[in-house]
Amino acid sequence: MFVEAILISIIIGLIRGGKLKRFKSINHKTIWVFILGILIQYIFVFLSKVEEIDGLNKLLVYNKQLQIISYILILIGVLTNIKLRSFWAILFGYVLNFIVLISNNWERPNLINNPMVEDIKFPVLGDTILFSEPYPIPRTMSLGDLIISFGIFALIQEIMLGEDSFMGGYRL
C-alpha cells in the first residue's frame, strides 16, 4: 500500500501545484536510512512468499535480526526528520507494527487468512484489513500499515507543496 500512497500523493501533489524539485530540501542522508529500512521489510515480505528457493531459507533464518535492524533504520530516519509533521503519523504506525511483532514472537498475525489462531496478543494490530478485488493488488494490511500509508501520503504533500507553515522556513 505504500507504493500506491506514494504514486497517488505525487499525482495529487502535482495537481495541487506542488513541485517535485522541493524534494531537494529534505535531509537526503537520513531519508535514505529510512528508505533502506523499508526496503529490508519489503524484501522479507516478498521472500516469505517465495519459499521454494533453497538459498532463501538460509536468509530467512535471520528474519528476526534483520527486522530489528530495519526498525532501527526506520526509527533513525523518522527521528532525524521529525520536524516534518507527517513523520509523526509514520512513527505512530511503525510503533503499532512493532508492538504487535514484539508481543507475538516476531510474527504478525494474519486474522483474515487464519482466523482461528490462538494466543495472539493485540489481535487488532495484526493483519485485519482486507483489500480484495476489485482493488488492483489484493492484500491484507494492519492498522499500522494504514497509518503509515497515510503518513507517507501526507509527507509527500507536505514536501511538494512546501508551504512555510509546513516546513517552518528552514532548509535541511
pLDDT of 165 over the 60 cut: no
pLDDT of 154 over the 90 cut: yes
**pLDDT the model gives residue 172:** 39
pLDDT of 12 over the 60 cut: yes
Query: Model confidence over 80-132: pLDDT tens digits?
Result: 888 888 999 999 999 999 998 888 888 777 777 776 667 888 888 888 887 77
H/E segment holding residue 129? strand 127-131
Tell the residue number behind the cell numbers 530467512, with chain if given. Answer: 60
The three-state secondary structure class of 142 is: strand
Domains in the chain: boundaries: 22-81, 86-163
Q: pLDDT tier at 139 (50, 70, 90 boundaries)?
A: confident
**AA letter at 60:** L
**pLDDT the model gives residue 166:** 46
Q: pLDDT tier at 60 (50, 70, 90 boundaries)?
A: low
